[in-house]
Amino acid sequence: MNRRVESVSNDERINDVLRRVIDGVRAADRLGRITVVTPTLQASYYLRRSLAKSGLFNVDFRRLEDVAELLAGNNVEGARLTDLEASEFVYAISTDSNHGTALGGERYSPQLQSALHSTFRDLENLSEKQLETLGAASSFQAELVARFGEYRTQTDQFSSGRRVATAAVKVLSRPDATDVSKRLLGTIVLVEVAPVAPELSNLFEALTELTDTVKISVGDDESGSTQSHQQVAMWAVNTVPNEVKEITRQIVGLARDGARFPRIAVLFEDEAYADRISESLMRAGIPISGPDRSALRDTPVGRFVIGLLNVFANDFDRNEVTSWFSSSPVIDPGTGHQIPGARWDAISRAAGVTRSVGDSWRPRLERYARSTVSRAKSAERLGERGESGVEAAESEAAYTIQLLDFVSTLQAHRNKVASVSWAGHVCWIRSLMSSYLDVASVGETRPFERMTNLLDRLEHLDSTGLKNPGFDHFVDVLRDQLNRKSAGLRSLGQGVYVGPVWTAAGCPFDYVFVAGMVEGKFPSLHRSDPLLPDHLKRMIDPDEKVLPTRVRISTDSRQVFESVKASARELRLFWPQTLPGESREFGPARWYLNEIRRLEGNSFLKASELTTSALQCLSIVTSDHAAPELSAHAEEFDQSRIVEWIRSGARKQELPADIQSAALDAAIQYTKARNGDDWTEFDGKVSVKETPSLSGSATAFETYAACPYRYFLSRRLRVEETKSPEEEISLDALEFGTLIHQVLEDFFEWRNAQNELPATAQQESWLQIAVAREIEGLKDEIPGRSDGAWAVDQSRAWLILRQWVRRENQVANLDDMSQVFAEFGFGYGDEPPVEVVTAQGRTVRFRGQVDRVDISNDGNTVTIYDYKSGGSASYSGLDKDPVKNGTKIQLPLYSRAVRRAFPDAEIQAAYWFVRESGSRELKPRPQEYDEAKADQALTEAIDVVAGGIEQGVFPANPGKSRWVGGRSSFESCGFCEFQRVCPQDKQQQWNRKKNSAEALNDYLALAEPDEDELDD
Ligand code: SF4
């Protein structure tokens, strides 16, 4: 037989042509060896499989690079250079300043290293003369060629695919080439379904030239000719998720009709489809095969190592540590058991841990363990908690110490890194894995094999003679390798093939789905190489034999697409009209449009006409839901039936019986109730079995008055916000307010002990020292903050108090008045609580502390002050309503307490905003405080709040709309810790329901009184 070329024609698929060729060879030589040379393992596998049942005796399927190995035999010395080793050589060369400064040295970056590596792969295929021409193009290119020269010198000891191919070509140029090839390969059938890699192109040509070689090739017809044996169908789908669903549904439909999964392929250009398609098929219970594009970081073992590196890189940042706990299988080497990750997260959060073992974890956990137990013991002494409370606290402390031991030991491991070799660093990682990785819970072995393989390859880098890596470089390389997608294959023939288009060239599938055929994305656009732009490539290699330009790469993609088409029995092409994250619509890919023009027999059809004209060959999908009988999986089946049920009017009795469940009933009931006009148990209508205790603090009652639902969540259900103790920039409002109150209390004690009122300068000086002393005390309580952050708080507090003391004399009228109490307590120790007996006969007891009490020189007037360190905006209007709808009840409560000590004096009262001045400093003005009016308002408000708590009235009342902290919010919600769990339409819900139940009337009258009544 002589050399010949067989083209895939209009009425044969590629496997049919191959069958014909093999049969032709067999007719001349019944038993002789035949080698079918394909571009990929996939093509070899699927071609062999498609021909096997009609007989394949002595037929080998090999990739071109495998043929090169076979022919080259032992003629190439040196171990094969791996990609990782090559990358490390490029790293060494790109950090070297001896070859220039434009492409390395101090300009080194991982991106530059990666760009150099990519360009070096191209340069390896150039001749010396071509390299010379390139180097002469500019000083930039001269440096590029110089660095490449150094790379070649350093990697000379290794073998490469190009060297093997060159050796194979040498064998084929010998006089006995025909005999050698005949002996090793028999008759060669070259399947040319994809462009040949530049380093293999000479070998491919040499094989083509051999006598007896048959080449099967696929034409490249841009006009979109399609085989007559082939059915083609086109879909336009509104979104990518619906496109993926539609493909899954169609595959389920094919399977129902008897199609076998291994004969189906879903192909794409955009790799993002790999996960989308795989997840959708797996949800439908459909097995998949093809390229495995998962990265090691997607496996539990990879997550373990990456999480650990993040913990070390971020100095044990609490968020990194807890994220490692929750995402990876970690064991405590101290116990050998899985760590209690959730509990340790809660403990470290409650302890206020931020980052750094020495500065934060150790001091805060030790303090937390101590204080938890001591608080429980003290509560037990006071009779507030029993023995079990102490036991629980001791258990918490034990967990805390266990956590502290864990992080301390881990830090010791981190500090052990002193190695200067790859093997040393790998040994360090292995020892961490052996101590902390919970092997038993990982289950599958494949991730371990991949990780072991990676660590072996890293260890092996010592043998390349490259300089020893620093720790940081080792971590960078390890991270990069963990993030790289696998180049492996999921067992072929086990399920639907899912992979990029190029991987399926020459694979004879029965059904081929091509997804994502969008303009500009299909085929993928290749970026120009910034180090070797296209114009230089054309100058050096005008035929683009070894340096393909972007135009050439695009043409090659077309060849691959044609091969895929020529191999398929039925083709289904998909055009998603929108893409995730993009607001505009996208037109179809050019090849998609060509195909549709051909099918419609209208070569002038425009893209804009596809969805507006009724085209025979095009199906358009615009809905998120298909009919139930077309569902891809059980979940979609249920969803579709529910959608149908809702569309039909949502009558409960018509809901399919098998979908009905207690959970669904509850969800329907909940949604209806929340969206309805009535106030229900889903809106804070609570059934109260026992009358709750009503002793408490003013703050709790004020909280109820502002929003009963917030009171219910925080005081009844005791739901707490999960705060993240990130490093504080400044003290929070509560801590700062306590600091100011403490200094002012101490200030009074000091000043009161002086024989005469000290000069203002002396008072300022005392305040400055007192603030510094308080800050020092807080440093012990709140370790881990920077000195700068403390200095900011100290300066802020000192400035506020300095200005305050300069104004104090005038504001408090100290010529006529003098302070007699700081922290006047009631309800503590021997001091009786303040009792409020309401008109309904309810008695509520309060305890609290008055910040300051002043008395006039004649003893007739007493003024009560409550210090506030925040702003005064929400305290306006106290002249009209002294308790502001029940949300400001401290002054009348304090008046009652102080009245007991001064039964005959006139009582004045004000909130004192220490950071404000002018009319905003005192609210209300003390002389305008009306004790009787305030007391009556207090009694009425307490009556409503106590009644609401007793009767289980806890509606969510967000209050009026307003700006809080620069954004739109509501009066009650600005600083509410439950904003995340409250519905967005809370104001509409309140407005709809507030008049719907009598039980709400009292609260409504308190929260939203008639404005006229207030004026009266
Ligand atoms: S977010 Fe607003 S409505 Fe919701 S509980 Fe808090 S204060 Fe009430």
DSSP 252-315: HHHHHTT--GGGEEEEESSTHHHHHHHHHHHHTT--EEEEE--BGGGSHHHHHHHHHHHHHHTT
Q: Is 294 in the pocket of ligand 1 (CB under 6 A)?
A: no
Residue bearing the CA closest to ligand 1, atom 1 = 979
Percent of the chain past pLDDT 90, that is, above it, reads 65
Exposed e or buried b for every residue in 641-680, given b needs 16+ CB within 10 A?
bbbebeeeeeeeeebeeeeeeeeeeeeeeeeebeeeeebb
As a whole number of Å, the CA-based R_g of the chain is: 40
- Within a 10 A sphere around the Cβ of 298, how many other Cβ atoms? 15
Which pLDDT value is given to residue 725?
64
CA 875 to CA 887: how far, in whole Å?
Answer: 10
Asked whether residue 76 carries a pLDDT value surpassing 80, the answer given is yes
pLDDT band at 299 (very low <50, low <70, confident <90, very high): very high
Which pLDDT value is given to residue 1013?
57
Q: Is 956 in the pocket of ligand 1 (CB under 6 A)?
A: yes
Expressed in angstroms and rounded, the spacing between residue 1000 Cα and the centre of ligand 1 is: 17
CA 712 to CA 718: how far, in whole Å?
Answer: 8
Chain centre to alpha carbon of residue 575: 29
User: Which atom of ligand 1 has the smallest separation from the CA of 706?
Assistant: 7
Q: Is 972 in the pocket of ligand 1 (CB under 6 A)?
A: yes
Angle at 877 between CA 872 and CA 880, to 5 degrees: 150
Residue 761 CB contacts under 8 Å (≥ 6 apart), including other chains: none
From residue 615, give the alpha-carbon distance in Å to each of 222, 235, 236, 321, 997.
Answer: 22, 11, 11, 58, 59
Q: Is 976 in the pocket of ligand 1 (CB under 6 A)?
A: yes
Least confident of 498-507, 533-542, 684-693, 977-986: 684-693
Collapsing DSSP to helix, strand or coil, 726 comes out as: coil
Q: Residue 850 phi/psi, 5° resolution?
A: -85, 135
Tokens standing for 362? 């150790």
Cβ contacts of 644-650, under 8 Å, gap ≥ 24 = none
Least confident of 235-244, 245-254, 781-790: 781-790
Expressed in angstroms and rounded, the spacing between residue 215 Cα and the centre of ligand 1 is: 75
Across the range 873-883, mean pLDDT stands at 90
Which pLDDT value is given to residue 287?
95
Ligand 1 pocket test: pick from 960, 964, 969, 978 the residue with the most ligand atoms within 8 Å of its Cβ: 978
Reported as a single tens digit per residue, the pLDDT across 467-494 is 888 888 999 999 999 999 887 888 898 9
Asked if the bond preceding 548 is cis, omega within 30° of 0, the reply is no
User: Which atom of ligand 1 has the smallest separation from the CA of 982?
Assistant: 4
Reported as a single tens digit per residue, the pLDDT across 783-835 is 556 778 889 999 999 999 999 999 999 999 989 999 999 989 998 888 899 99
Helix (H) or strand (E) holding 232: strand 231-237
Expressed in angstroms and rounded, the spacing between residue 886 Cα and the centre of ligand 1 is: 16
User: Which atom of ligand 1 has the smallest separation from the CA of 957?
Assistant: 3
Cβ contacts of 101-105, under 8 Å, gap ≥ 24 = 102/139, 102/140, 102/143, 103/140, 103/143, 103/144, 103/147, 103/531, 104/147
Which is higher by pLDDT, 957 or 635?
A: 957
Least confident of 476-480, 717-721, 889-893: 717-721
Across the range 493-500, mean pLDDT stands at 95
Asked whether residue 653 carries a pLDDT value surpassing 80, the answer given is no
Please check whether residue 354 is in contact with residue 725, taking contact to mean a CB–CB distance below 8 angstroms.
yes
For 895-947, strand residue ranges (E) read 906-913, 922-923
Which pLDDT value is given to residue 119?
96
Which pLDDT value is given to residue 224?
46
Q: Is 709 in the pocket of ligand 1 (CB under 6 A)?
A: yes
Q: Is 982 in the pocket of ligand 1 (CB under 6 A)?
A: yes
Q: Residue 865 phi/psi, 5° resolution?
A: -125, 140
Q: Please provide the average confidence, as pLDDT, over all residues in the chain.
A: 90
The number of CA neighbours under 13 Å toward the Cβ of 914 is 24
Which is higher by pLDDT, 889 or 643?
A: 889
Q: Is 509 in the pocket of ligand 1 (CB under 6 A)?
A: no
Expressed in angstroms and rounded, the spacing between residue 281 Cα and the centre of ligand 1 is: 43
Residue bearing the CA closest to ligand 1, atom 7 = 973
Expressed in angstroms and rounded, the spacing between residue 957 Cα and the centre of ligand 1 is: 7
Residue 450 CB contacts under 8 Å (≥ 6 apart), including other chains: 296, 299, 301, 486
Chain centre to alpha carbon of residue 860: 66
Reported as a single tens digit per residue, the pLDDT across 532-561 is 999 999 999 999 989 999 989 888 898 899
Which is higher by pLDDT, 690 or 44?
A: 44
Across the range 364-385, mean pLDDT stands at 80
Q: Is 973 in the pocket of ligand 1 (CB under 6 A)?
A: yes
CA 105 to CA 318: how far, in whole Å?
Answer: 36
This prediction's pTM: 0.73
Expressed in angstroms and rounded, the spacing between residue 712 Cα and the centre of ligand 1 is: 10
- Within a 10 A sphere around the Cβ of 640, how many other Cβ atoms? 19
CA 4 to CA 26: how far, in whole Å?
Answer: 16
Q: Is 705 in the pocket of ligand 1 (CB under 6 A)?
A: no
Expressed in angstroms and rounded, the spacing between residue 387 Cα and the centre of ligand 1 is: 36
Across the range 172-183, mean pLDDT stands at 93
Expressed in angstroms and rounded, the spacing between residue 684 Cα and the centre of ligand 1 is: 12
- Give the single-character DSSP code of 58: S
Expressed in angstroms and rounded, the spacing between residue 664 Cα and the centre of ligand 1 is: 27
Q: Is 499 in the pocket of ligand 1 (CB under 6 A)?
A: no
Ligand 1 pocket test: pick from 707, 720, 968, 970 the residue with the most ligand atoms within 8 Å of its Cβ: 707
Expressed in angstroms and rounded, the spacing between residue 721 Cα and the centre of ligand 1 is: 13
Which pLDDT value is given to residue 120?
96
Residue 181 CB contacts under 8 Å (≥ 6 apart), including other chains: 71, 172, 188, 207, 210
Expressed in angstroms and rounded, the spacing between residue 706 Cα and the centre of ligand 1 is: 9
Please check whether residue 168 is in contact with residue 72, taking contact to mean a CB–CB distance below 8 angstroms.
yes
Cross-strand pairs, 265: 497, 512
Tokens standing for 797? 């507090």
Which is higher by pLDDT, 458 or 695?
A: 458
Reported as a single tens digit per residue, the pLDDT across 596-613 is 999 989 989 998 888 887
Asked whether residue 863 carries a pLDDT value surpassing 60, the answer given is yes
What angle separates helix 931-951 from helix 890-901, to the nearest 10 degrees?
A: 120
Asked whether residue 505 carries a pLDDT value surpassing 50, the answer given is yes
Which is higher by pLDDT, 754 or 388?
A: 754
Which pLDDT value is given to residue 537?
95
Please check whether residue 486 is in contact with residue 294, taking contact to mean a CB–CB distance below 8 angstroms.
yes
Tokens standing for 629? 């009988």
Q: Is 987 in the pocket of ligand 1 (CB under 6 A)?
A: no
Which is higher by pLDDT, 874 or 652?
A: 874
Least confident of 180-184, 786-790, 935-939: 786-790
Asked whether residue 420 carries a pLDDT value surpassing 80, the answer given is no
Which pLDDT value is given to residue 649?
78
Element counts in the chain: helices (H) and strands (E): 36, 24
User: Which atom of ligand 1 has the smallest separation from the CA of 986?
Assistant: 3
Expressed in angstroms and rounded, the spacing between residue 1003 Cα and the centre of ligand 1 is: 16
Residue bearing the CA closest to ligand 1, atom 2 = 973
Residue bearing the CA closest to ligand 1, atom 5 = 710
- Within a 10 A sphere around the Cβ of 835, how many other Cβ atoms? 12
Which pLDDT value is given to residue 418?
65
Percent of the chain past pLDDT 70, that is, above it, reads 95
CA 679 to CA 995: how far, in whole Å?
Answer: 9
CA 858 to CA 874: how far, in whole Å?
Answer: 34
Expressed in angstroms and rounded, the spacing between residue 981 Cα and the centre of ligand 1 is: 9
CA 421 to CA 474: how far, in whole Å?
Answer: 9
Which pLDDT value is given to residue 461?
93
User: Which atom of ligand 1 has the smallest separation from the CA of 976?
Assistant: 6
Please check whether residue 897 is in contact with residue 826, taking contact to mean a CB–CB distance below 8 angstroms.
yes
User: Which atom of ligand 1 has the smallest separation from the CA of 707?
Assistant: 8
pLDDT band at 349 (very low <50, low <70, confident <90, very high): confident
Q: Is 978 in the pocket of ligand 1 (CB under 6 A)?
A: yes
Collapsing DSSP to helix, strand or coil, 688 comes out as: coil
Please check whether residue 751 is in contact with residue 758, taking contact to mean a CB–CB distance below 8 angstroms.
yes
CA 841 to CA 358: how far, in whole Å?
Answer: 58
From residue 252, give the alpha-carbon distance in Å to each of 166, 281, 621, 633.
Answer: 48, 9, 17, 8
What angle separates helix 471-483 from helix 422-436, to the nearest 10 degrees?
A: 60
Across the range 631-652, mean pLDDT stands at 81
CA 145 to CA 132: how far, in whole Å?
Answer: 8
Which pLDDT value is given to residue 968?
77
Expressed in angstroms and rounded, the spacing between residue 946 Cα and the centre of ligand 1 is: 19
- Within a 10 A sphere around the Cβ of 735, how many other Cβ atoms? 14
From residue 721, give the alpha-carbon distance in Å to each of 346, 782, 938, 972, 981.
Answer: 12, 20, 30, 17, 11
pLDDT band at 1 (very low <50, low <70, confident <90, very high): very low
Expressed in angstroms and rounded, the spacing between residue 710 Cα and the centre of ligand 1 is: 6
Residue bearing the CA closest to ligand 1, atom 4 = 982
Collapsing DSSP to helix, strand or coil, 489 comes out as: strand
Which pLDDT value is given to residue 464?
87
Which pLDDT value is given to residue 728?
58
User: Which atom of ligand 1 has the smallest separation from the CA of 990?
Assistant: 3
Tokens standing for 55? 């007989």
Instruction: Name the pairing type of β-strands 861-868 and 848-856.
Output: antiparallel
Ligand 1 pocket test: pick from 683, 982, 989 the residue with the most ligand atoms within 8 Å of its Cβ: 982
Across the range 244-263, mean pLDDT stands at 95
Q: Is 82 in the pocket of ligand 1 (CB under 6 A)?
A: no
User: Which atom of ligand 1 has the smallest separation from the CA of 977?
Assistant: 6
Which pLDDT value is given to residue 3?
60
